[in-house]
Amino acid sequence: MSIDYSEKIPNNVNLNDDRRLQRALEKWQPGYLQWWNELGPDNSTSYDVYLRTAVSVDAKGWAHFDHVKMPDYRWGIFLAPVEGERVINFGQHKGEPVWQDVPGEYRAELRRLIVTQGDTEPASVEQQRLLGKTCPSLYDLRNLFQVNVEEGRHLWAMVYLLHAHFGRDGREEAEAMLERHSGDLDKPRILQAFNEKTPDWLAFFMFTYFQDRDGKYQLASLAESGFDPLARSCRFMLTEEAHHMFVGESGVSRVVQRTCELMNENKTDNARTAGGIDLQTIQKYINFHFSICLDLFGQELSTNAANYYTQGLKGRFLETRIDDDHLLADAAYQVPEIKGDEVVFTDASALNAINERLRNDYIQDSQRGMDRWNKIIRDAGIDFELTLPHRSFNRGIGTFADVHFTPEGQKISGEEFEARKVEWLPTDEDFAYVSSLMVAVTEPGKMANWVAAPKRGINNQPIDFEYVRFN
Ligand code: BYC
Ligand code: FE
Ligand code: FE
């Protein structure tokens, strides 16, 4: 089914057939646009950007490229199509047909999951608001805006579910999505990592590598939901998430590559002396972003997560590929615990450990990019290895909150952590240095000195294509 862009709200959910819902969403739309103008990409209103817009949800239609004026981007509502006779694959309703409407007894839980998911989307746009001013290239500027408009659409996806399935309190939650803001002292975003700053492009690449990857794992778990409209929204969102993570992985790759080039050309082991970002600083950024993203999975043992699972609302990553009974009543799963100065893994209820299992899937996946970045360093003949910090390092949620560990996983005192954190986390001075490199490069095909060119352009266009036209 192709999407009609002449409609006020493009959609593949037959919005025309439900006038009340259509009117409610049209009432929300001006507030959304106002939010985008005030807290979306700074100063971008007059730009023509080479964007990918979904014109339908099938394989051919969701990647249509053209120059679009940013405020004219059509945020629409797209759900992946209904799959014949889908059944719930886990929990106490296993084997029953999926729900097209919200089951009354799970209303509060579903609303909470949808609100938490929805809240992260505009938060990330707010966090990235100022980056356009200092883009390292037109190619990168375009990617930033692509990510931003899609996160805006992800908010639309969750707001649609709230409006369509939760009546008045759904509409109130949709309003509140535009009232909470990243970093706001009175009304912050719900999850802490979405209140942090994304002050420079190295942070942006880390964000899209690590934080959007949390999006991948959470969306994949919600794509298993017995509440079918949520599952189908998330399935379509996942197709876009892949590009966000590509921006992150290739972005860090290009920084690492440029750093190595500068080190070799200038025969130095500190790329800063050659105007690049030194490997130590890259490591500190990894330490920060990875550790705050581990918090996004919640506590190691969570009755919330156990309930969501048993109720059939949120599954595990690739639930149907897991070879067990999908009920987990008596199953065990290893979770970390602090015994004296050691972190040990002990058996716990697999149901209560659903968050921890997803975190482990995420950690494994995060390592893959690290391996690729390390190969670039090795191939350059440089003796340095980037590593993921231990799961206990710099944590704010769960077992490791309120205790202190080194990135290697050694328990230390709070005083020692305070004294040594300059070795592990970006300092004001590191941020100031990286920030000093952030100058806008807007000539087609040119790159800032601290980052290598991408291997290829977007949609087979050359690297020096005019991805953004300033008017
Ligand atoms: N910060 O029982 P627990 C994305 C709270 S990213 C602050 O373990 P649960 C994107 C928790 O709410 C994907 N608070 O929690 C990426 C609970 O509060 P109450 C976003 C936190 O529910 C980039 C208490 O601590 N989607 O899409 O099992 C760009 C006890 O915790 C945090 C989702 O997250 C935290 N980090 O697990 C754009 C999916 N962690 O009950 C977009 C929906 C926990 O004591 N969310 N708390 O008041 C969920 O499934 C769950 O809410 C969580 C938490 C997995 C996040
Ligand atoms: Fe998203
Ligand atoms: Fe994303």
CA of 445 to the centre of ligand 1 (A): 40
pLDDT tens-place string over residues 224-277: 999 999 999 999 999 999 999 999 999 999 999 999 999 999 999 999 999 999
Contact call for residues 193 and 119 (beta carbons, < 8 A): no
- Closest-CA residue, ligand 1 atom 24, reads 298
- For the CA of 211, the nearest ligand: 1
CA of 189 to the centre of ligand 1 (A): 11
pLDDT value for 26: 95
Atom of ligand 1 lying closest to residue 222 CA: 39
CA of 418 to the centre of ligand 3 (A): 33
pLDDT value for 124: 98
pLDDT value for 1: 56
Kindly give, in sequence order, each residue whose CB lies less than 8 Å from that of residue 255, ignoring residues fewer than 6 positions away.
Answer: 202, 205, 277, 282, 450, 451, 452
- Closest-CA residue, ligand 1 atom 14, reads 191
CA-to-CA distance for 227 and 60, rounded, in angstroms?
Answer: 27
Atom of ligand 1 lying closest to residue 314 CA: 50
Tokens standing for residue 79: 């759900």
Atom of ligand 1 lying closest to residue 123 CA: 38
- For the CA of 241, the nearest ligand: 3
Q: Is 297 in the pocket of ligand 1 (CB under 6 A)?
A: yes
If you compute the radius of gyration of the chain from its CA atoms, what whole number of angstroms results? 23
Q: Which amino acid is at 334?
A: Q
Q: Is 389 in the pocket of ligand 1 (CB under 6 A)?
A: no
Tokens 């050691």 belong to 342
- Closest-CA residue, ligand 1 atom 20, reads 117
pLDDT value for 62: 66
Out of 304, 317, 357, mutate this one to test ligand 1's pocket (max ligand atoms within 8 Å of CB): namely: 304
The three-point CA angle 252-257-260 to 5° equals 125
- For the CA of 125, the nearest ligand: 1
pLDDT value for 24: 96
Contact call for residues 392 and 405 (beta carbons, < 8 A): yes
Q: Is 116 in the pocket of ligand 1 (CB under 6 A)?
A: yes
Out of 111, 120, 146, 313, mutate this one to test ligand 1's pocket (max ligand atoms within 8 Å of CB): namely: 120
CA of 151 to the centre of ligand 3 (A): 6
Ordered structural domains, the chain, with CATH:
15-462 (1.10.620.20)
Q: Is 192 in the pocket of ligand 1 (CB under 6 A)?
A: yes
Q: Is 225 in the pocket of ligand 1 (CB under 6 A)?
A: no
Q: Which amino acid is at 450?
A: W
Atom of ligand 1 lying closest to residue 303 CA: 2
- Give the containing element (helix H, strand E) for 199: none
CA 195 to chain centre: 13
pLDDT value for 59: 66
Name the β-bridge partners of 52: 65
Per-position pLDDT tens, the chain of length 471? 567 777 889 898 999 999 999 999 999 999 999 999 999 999 898 999 999 987 766 766 667 899 998 878 888 898 888 878 899 999 999 999 999 999 999 999 999 999 999 999 999 999 999 999 999 999 999 999 999 999 999 999 999 999 999 999 999 999 999 999 999 999 999 999 999 999 999 999 999 999 999 999 999 999 999 999 999 999 999 999 999 999 999 999 999 999 999 999 999 999 999 999 999 999 999 999 999 999 999 999 999 999 999 999 999 999 999 999 999 999 999 999 999 999 999 999 999 999 999 999 999 999 999 999 999 999 999 999 999 999 999 999 999 999 999 999 999 999 999 999 999 999 999 999 999 999 999 999 999 999 999 999 999 999 999 999 998
What three-state secondary structure class fits 223? coil
pLDDT value for 72: 84
Q: Is 356 in the pocket of ligand 1 (CB under 6 A)?
A: no
CA-to-CA distance for 152 and 169, rounded, in angstroms?
Answer: 21
Q: Is 299 in the pocket of ligand 1 (CB under 6 A)?
A: yes
pLDDT value for 338: 98
Largest separation between any pair of C-alpha atoms in the chain: 68
Atom of ligand 1 lying closest to residue 190 CA: 7
CA-to-CA distance for 443 and 294, rounded, in angstroms?
Answer: 38
Tokens 């050659």 belong to 274
**CA contacts within 13 A on the Cβ side of 3:** 26
CB atoms within 5 A of ion ligand 3 belong to 212, 215, 244
Residue 346 — φ and ψ, nearest 5°?
-130, 155
Q: Is 113 in the pocket of ligand 1 (CB under 6 A)?
A: yes
CA of 124 to the centre of ligand 2 (A): 8
- For the CA of 219, the nearest ligand: 1
Contact call for residues 137 and 439 (beta carbons, < 8 A): no
- Closest-CA residue, ligand 1 atom 55, reads 297
pLDDT value for 92: 98
Counting every residue written for the chain, the total comes to 471
The three-point CA angle 150-153-156 to 5° equals 160
- Closest-CA residue, ligand 1 atom 35, reads 191
Q: Is 281 in the pocket of ligand 1 (CB under 6 A)?
A: no
* pTM for this entry: 0.97
Tokens standing for residue 233: 């929204």
Which letter does DSSP use for residue 87 in this model? B
- Closest-CA residue, ligand 1 atom 5, reads 298
**CA contacts within 13 A on the Cβ side of 432:** 3
What three-state secondary structure class fits 354? helix
pLDDT value for 454: 98
pLDDT tens-place string over residues 128-167: 999 999 999 999 999 999 999 999 999 999 999 999 999 9
